[in-house]
Amino acid sequence: IGPDVIDIRKLYAQTGKFTYDPGFLSTASCNSTITYIDGDKGELLYRGYPIEQLAVNCDFLDTCHLLLYGDLPNADQRTDFHGRVTNHTMVNEQMQFFLRGFRRDAHPMAILTGLVGALSAFYHDSTDINNPQHRDIAAIRLIAKMPTLVAMAYKYTVGQPYMYPQNDLSYAGNFMRMMFATPCETYKVNPVIERALDRIFILHADHEQNASTSTVRLCGSSGTNPFAAIAAGVACLWGPSHGGANEACLNMLGDIQKMGGVAKVGEFMNQVKDKNSGVKLMGFGHRVYKNYDPRAKLMRETCHEVLGELGLQNDPLFKLAMELEKIALEDDYFVARKLYPNVDFYSGIVQRAIGIPVPLFTAIFALARTVGWIAQLNEMIADPEYKIGRPRQLFVGAAPRDVPPLSAR
């Protein structure tokens, strides 16, 4: 079906032969019109628009409209879409009681997986994945409620009262207020931080068929409800090889700092290059990008802006990250394997500077990626050719044998 693509389904129909591809290194699971990545050039486009232009000229809700409906909103559509989203920012009060069932020291991703799945119990008018209206209202609800849920998970773990959404604020500004304000003081949104957070959301909004998105598609392919499918995506994102990398990256920088900081970078790099050490340079490498991740470039710029605004230009972890990047980009090990910084390398430093606690980083990623998950899910369900996802396997276990009696086992 293309110069580099073979449609294996015909071969399967004719011969019963199938392919063996653990990790899906060479398997396209779907057609998609949403996101395009050129890993060799380091290029990322949402619906044809370069990520660099979207990050500068649009806000996150414009990006959501683009991903969900195929194009950027005009002025009227923008007002309408913002209104629809802000209309749904509250969550049912019952959610508080559900939240109380968690230990206070629960990981925010454990809480979020539960809360997102629980939404299906509240919105019975949006659980039929085969109904386009249901899918649309579920999309709006999920985008609107994710910031509220993430902020609730945070407030719960620190024992502070929940802050209700304030709908005259921007999407990012409202999230900052729900996170950092308390009922006993006036909170003013810092526009530089608000813009940085909005940019983090834009950069994480979609990334074609990554592990969590593929999980959402596979989960949704059984016809389950949209909230359950998105909860599956949250669970998958949690892992350190995926969305958990920003948390792991910041922990790594903290460890190097404890070892002695910039002076110990060489020693740390030797550990990374020693295959027996099991140590990886977190925030480096990507399955698709074999060049600089364009999101990492934008995130590094944002990092400078945020640290400048907060007077943290001499932040030791930022200096450490710059040094690691410099050394890695000149090191044969990394050059030969085409390992470059990915989006998570700098996003953790930005989030930490903003005041977001490290265990919440992946939850922020989930908040932003929700729109991508839904757009991909909706695209799959609307495709008349879609089928339940069902990979095959090569069975390499025992040959048929008889069950021995207990006395002989």
Tell me how many residues contact ligand ACO (CB under 6 A): 18
Closest distance between ligand ACO and the C-beta of residue 243, in Å?
Answer: 6
DSSP β-bridge partners for residue 49: 46
User: Closer CB to ligand ACO, residue 298 or residue 381?
Assistant: 298
End-to-end CA distance of the chain: 53
Given candidates 150, 203, 282, 364, which one binds ligand ACO under the rule CB under 6 A? 282
User: Closer CB to ligand ACO, residue 265 or residue 281?
Assistant: 281
User: Closer CB to ligand ACO, residue 182 or residue 241?
Assistant: 241
Told to judge if 40 belongs to the known catalytic residues of this protein, a careful annotator would answer: no
Closest distance between ligand ACO and the C-beta of residue 99, in Å?
Answer: 27
Q: How far is CA 292 from CA 7, 55, 212, 232, 249, in A?
A: 31, 17, 22, 29, 17
Show the binding pattern over residues 218-257: x = contacts ligand ACO (CB under 6 A), - = does not: -----------------------xxx-x------------
d(CA 385, CA 223): 14
Given candidates 337, 355, 383, 391, which one binds ligand ACO under the rule CB under 6 A? 337
d(CA 335, CA 348): 24
Given candidates 343, 364, 375, 377, which one binds ligand ACO under the rule CB under 6 A? 343
Specify the stretch interacting with ligand ACO by CB under 6 A; choose among 105-113, 123-131, 281-289, 301-309.
281-289
Instruction: Determine phi and psi for 198, rounding to 5 degrees.
Output: -60, -40
112 binds ligand ACO (CB under 6 A): no
Site for ligand ACO in 157-216 (CB under 6 A): none
d(CA 182, CA 399): 64
Closest distance between ligand ACO and the C-beta of residue 239, in Å?
Answer: 9
Q: Cβ distance 30 to 380 under 8 Å?
A: yes
Q: How far is CA 27 from CA 19, 22, 394, in A?
A: 9, 9, 16
d(CA 232, CA 112): 11
Specify the stretch interacting with ligand ACO by CB under 6 A; choose among 47-55, 187-195, 222-230, 335-343.
335-343
Show the binding pattern over residues 283-322: x = contacts ligand ACO (CB under 6 A), - = does not: xxxxx-----------------------------------
342 binds ligand ACO (CB under 6 A): yes
Closest distance between ligand ACO and the C-beta of residue 342, in Å?
Answer: 4
Specify the stretch interacting with ligand ACO by CB under 6 A; choose among 31-39, 50-58, 309-317, 341-349.
341-349
CB-neighbour burial class of residue 93 (10 A; exposed 0-12, middle 13-18, buried 19+): exposed
Given candidates 112, 202, 303, 339, which one binds ligand ACO under the rule CB under 6 A? 339
Told to judge if 136 belongs to the known catalytic residues of this protein, a careful annotator would answer: no
Among left, alpha and beta (phi > 0; psi -120 to 50; other), residue 56 is alpha
User: Closer CB to ligand ACO, residue 189 or residue 328?
Assistant: 328
Q: How far is CA 55 from CA 52, 203, 204, in A?
A: 5, 7, 11
CA 202 to chain centre: 11
Closest distance between ligand ACO and the C-beta of residue 211, in Å?
Answer: 8
Closest distance between ligand ACO and the C-beta of residue 249, in Å?
Answer: 7
Instruction: Determine phi and psi for 151, rounding to 5 degrees.
Output: -65, -40
152 binds ligand ACO (CB under 6 A): no
| Beta-carbon count within 10 A of 161 CB | 9
Residue of 126, 200, 172 whose CA lies nearest to 374: 126
| Beta-carbon count within 10 A of 357 CB | 15
Site for ligand ACO in 44-63 (CB under 6 A): none
Q: Which of 286, 304, 332, 402 is catalytic?
A: 286
Enzyme catalytic residues: 286, 344
* Residues found near ligand ACO in the complex (CB under 6 A): 241-243, 245, 272, 280-287, 337, 339, 342-344
